[in-house]
A and B are shown apart, each in its own frame.
Chain A
Amino acid sequence: MSVKEGRVHVTPSAVDRRGWFERILAIRFFEEKVQELFMDGLVEGTTHLCQGQEAISVGSTAALSDDDYMTITYRGHGHALARGMPPEAAFGELMGRTIGCCHGVGGSMHLTDFSRGLIGSFAIIGAGLSVAVGAALSAQRRGDGRVALAYCGDGATNIGTFHEALNMAAVWHAPVVFIVENNLYAEYTPLQVTTAVTDLAQRGVANGIRSRIVDGQDVDAVYEAVLEAVAHARGDEGPSLLEMKTYRFRGHSRTDPAKYRSAGELEKWLERDPVTLLERRLRDEGVLSDDEAHEIRVRVQKEIDDAAATAAASPPPTLDAARAFVYASRELR
């Protein structure tokens, strides 16, 4: 088993890839809108934005079937939107309104949608990984061919649960794909300061899991890699780990100005912005004209703005509604 392995070549259609462009843009515009909503006082607390990492959400979810499982993290707006969560449900959750996917009690870090297989969004580092292994075991026991996709960041590869989950997945041959989004910083601290192994795919190999390094800025590359890993999982060939090399263009969370970046680092990564990378490629290939690109931008921006307005018009939940979410058994409500 090696870190880098061959690819399968499954070519997505032009329509698919134009759809990816729309989704990447929708996530970008969503995240920018969240910052505006903060300034307007409509979103409070904290948020962890994913500008720069959108290609991973879009490329990976494109490789899934509708009934596959996903566990995501507190930096999860992109994954939820890529999976098809309506933006008003996501905005509503961030605003604490009943229209929110979790009726406003979860908030930014807990975008969950069981109807889309999005079975959990975790604000505790690494926690979702073992839950995804459990979901994969349930698919394995039923023999229904589902797989589980579990996302985490580079920082999560230092917590015990990461290794626990990888080992269990490997020893039980669970149909799970781990995606490590290596954006080079664990919160405010550069990877190399906290982590002796900086190609994190090695940690998959160390746990007996087929592992690859993938260009996380390139949605086509992400799609192909995840498609291959998902095919392995579905074919009872066990788990995979994909390390996505990526970068976040904003700070860790709302209050982080990201002063720890080295000079020129952000600018270098902005040259590999997944939005412009895909747009340029689609134009070069003649899949997307200038006019179409413009039309898409205007339309997606309006959809995002409208979704935010719809969410803002929704009322907050009641304490009684929230109380009913604590226990499933009626006698304790």
Chain B
Amino acid sequence: MNSASSEMSYRDAIREAMADSLEDDATTVLLGEDVADAGGVFKTSVGLVERFGRDRVFDTPICENGFVGVALGLAVTGYRPIVEIMFSDFLPSAGDAIVNELPKFRFMSGGQCNVPVTVRAIGGATGRFGTQHSATGETWYSGLPGLKVATAGTPQAAYSVLRTAIAQPDPVLFFEHKGLYGVKGPVVRSAPMDVGTAEVLRPGNDVTIVASLLMVQRALRAAAELELAGVDAEVIDLQWVRPMDMTTILDSVRKTRHLITVEEQVQLGSWGSSVIAQAAMEGIALDAPPDAVTLPDDLLIPYSPTLEDAIIPSATQIAERVCAIVGVAARG
């Protein structure tokens, strides 16, 4: 384990998290469409089949429900599979395996087995992939006891959250954002972290911005814009949707007395609405009503680059919404 930090892209951090997991534990395997010789359609597994062999890194037919079921079978008989789902939009094709099998398997058996399966789903808009290849989907399956759900908004999180997911004895849905693959940042090859921990990326005193996936990077840019307007924003990468780190988030809200959530999903069924509800239920005093920056509820993600750009929250839009609740005029 190298504790030194190195500069790495989000894409490389994903690959390195898998490579280190494959290296550490000979029962770890990677399967999915085009993950072996092609190295993944987003090149997240380049070199892994050469390094670990075809028994441990292998291509599947295009049959998500079938191969997630195969991963379950491998997991309960001694292996630790990582499954790549090429686009989050394909997760529903594995719906039975994800809803009925992975989360329920240990429970239904009365605790006779562990289910160490990590399903990596590659999601997110801004790539001009159109309506059926652009969803993030991090809350689609968040209401399922038995499952853990994670995301990563930085290269460091891509490494450490994925490493942690793979090390779990339980099934984890891990969401990546394809708009982040080129983002570079420092990565420490840390040991697995605690499950369910959010990360404060930028401390601040005036407002708590909680974001996931690509919106984490945009929230950080918004915070830089807000600084020019004299607003000191605290930016938190949600990281784990289930279990959710309410302690870190609500401690921050108690300090800043302002809460805004940012995600690439519509509001109904969003994790942001759960955060806001929890803050309300705990009676946290706010200086202004909280806000949730989301996708519009009356649209689907369009192909047209102009339209896609118009509906995915930008850093400037996030900053404007923050200004509205903290009562400061936005700059620019």
Question: What is the interface of chain A, defined by CB distance below 8 A to chain B?
Answer: 69, 71, 100-106, 110, 112-114, 119-120, 122, 124, 127, 129-139, 141-142, 148, 160-161, 164-165, 167-168, 171, 322, 324-329, 331-332
User: How far is B79's CA from A138's CA once the two chains are assembled, in angstroms?
Assistant: 7
Which residue among B66, B68, B101, B243 has the maximum number of chain A CB atoms within 10 Å of its CB? Answer: B66
Query: Which stretch of B111-119, B208-216, B268-276, B309-317 is in the interface?
Result: B111-119
List chain A residues, Cβ under 8 A from B295: none
List chain B residues, Cβ under 8 A from A106: 108-110
CB distance from A127 to the nearest CB of B (A): 6
Q: Are A103 and B66 in contact (CB under 8 A)?
A: no
Q: Are B107 and A326 in contact (CB under 8 A)?
A: yes
CB distance from A319 to the nearest CB of B (A): 13
User: How far is B75's CA from A191's CA once the two chains are assembled, in angstroms?
Assistant: 34
Interface size on B, residues (CB 8 A): 45
B105 at the interface (CB under 8 A from A): yes
List chain A residues, Cβ under 8 A from B68: 130
List chain A residues, Cβ under 8 A from B29: 141
Nearest first, the 3 A-B pairs at minimum CB distance are A134-B73, A164-B66, A130-B69
User: What 5 new A-B contacts, CB under 8 Å, besides A103-B110, A165-B69?
Assistant: A101-B110, A113-B112, A120-B76, A131-B73, A327-B170
Q: Are A130 and B70 in contact (CB under 8 A)?
A: yes
Other-chain residue from A127, A135, A324, A331 in contact with B101 (beta carbon distance below 8 A): A127
Q: Are B65 and A161 in contact (CB under 8 A)?
A: yes
CB distance from B93 to the nearest CB of A (A): 9
User: How far is B105's CA from A167's CA once the two chains are assembled, in angstroms?
Assistant: 24
List chain B residues, Cβ under 8 A from A134: 69-77
Query: Which stretch of B10-18, B55-63, B84-92 is in the interface?
Result: B55-63
Q: Are A329 and B168 in contact (CB under 8 A)?
A: yes
CB distance from B192 to the nearest CB of A (A): 11
List chain A residues, Cβ under 8 A from B67: 130, 164, 168
Q: Are A137 and B169 in contact (CB under 8 A)?
A: no
List chain B residues, Cβ under 8 A from A168: 60-61, 63, 66-67, 70
Other-chain residue from B71, B96, B112, B145 in contact with A161 (beta carbon distance below 8 A): B96
Other-chain residue from B60, B76, B108, B169 in contact with A110 (beta carbon distance below 8 A): B108
List chain B residues, Cβ under 8 A from A329: 168-170, 195
Q: Are A131 and B61 in contact (CB under 8 A)?
A: no
Q: Are A137 and B70 in contact (CB under 8 A)?
A: yes
User: How far is B111's CA from A106's CA once the two chains are assembled, in angstroms?
Assistant: 10
List chain A residues, Cβ under 8 A from B247: none
User: How far is B74's CA from A322's CA once the two chains are assembled, in angstroms?
Assistant: 25
Other-chain residue from A130, A322, A324 in contact with B66 (beta carbon distance below 8 A): A130
Given the interface pairs A131-B70, A331-B195, the reply to whether A141 lies near B79 with Cβ below 8 Å is yes
CB distance from A55 to the nearest CB of B (A): 27
Question: What is the interface of chain B, defined by CB distance below 8 A to chain A?
Answer: 29, 55, 60-61, 63, 65-79, 96-97, 100-101, 105-115, 145-146, 148, 168-170, 194-196, 243
Q: Are B110 and A135 in contact (CB under 8 A)?
A: no
List chain A residues, Cβ under 8 A from B79: 138, 141
List chain A residues, Cβ under 8 A from B73: 71, 119, 130-138, 148
List chain A residues, Cβ under 8 A from B100: 124, 127
Q: Are B169 and A328 in contact (CB under 8 A)?
A: yes
Q: Are A167 and B101 in contact (CB under 8 A)?
A: no
Main secondary structure of the interface of A (DSSP, over half): helix
User: How far is B78's CA from A247's CA once the two chains are assembled, in angstroms?
Assistant: 36
List chain B residues, Cβ under 8 A from A110: 108-109
List chain A residues, Cβ under 8 A from B55: 141
Q: Across the interface, name the chain A residue whose C-beta is closest to B243.
A: A332
List chain B residues, Cβ under 8 A from A132: 73
Other-chain residue from A131, A148, A171, A327 in contact with B72 (beta carbon distance below 8 A): A131
CB distance from B194 to the nearest CB of A (A): 7
User: How far is B196's CA from A329's CA once the two chains are assembled, in angstroms?
Assistant: 12
CB distance from A251 to the nearest CB of B (A): 24
CB distance from A241 to the nearest CB of B (A): 16
Given the interface pairs A167-B63, A327-B170, the reply to whether A119 lies near B110 with Cβ below 8 Å is no
Other-chain residue from B106, B113, B195 in contact with A326 (beta carbon distance below 8 A): B106
CB distance from A148 to the nearest CB of B (A): 8
List chain B residues, Cβ under 8 A from A324: 111
Other-chain residue from B65, B170, B243 in contact with A164 (beta carbon distance below 8 A): B65
CB distance from A247 to the nearest CB of B (A): 28
Given the interface pairs A119-B76, A139-B77, the reply to whether A133 lies near B111 with Cβ below 8 Å is no
List chain B residues, Cβ under 8 A from A136: 73
Q: Are B70 and A133 in contact (CB under 8 A)?
A: yes
User: How far is B72's CA from A148's CA once the two chains are assembled, in angstroms?
Assistant: 14
User: How far is B306's CA from A206's CA once the two chains are assembled, in angstroms?
Assistant: 47
**Can you list 14 pairs linking A and B with CB atoms under 8 Å apart?**
A101-B110, A105-B107, A106-B109, A120-B76, A131-B73, A137-B74, A138-B78, A142-B78, A161-B66, A167-B61, A168-B70, A324-B111, A327-B106, A327-B169
CB distance from B215 to the nearest CB of A (A): 26
List chain B residues, Cβ under 8 A from A133: 66, 69-70, 73
Q: Across the interface, name the chain A residue whose C-beta is closest to B79.
A: A138
Q: Are B74 and A138 in contact (CB under 8 A)?
A: yes
Q: Are B243 and A135 in contact (CB under 8 A)?
A: no
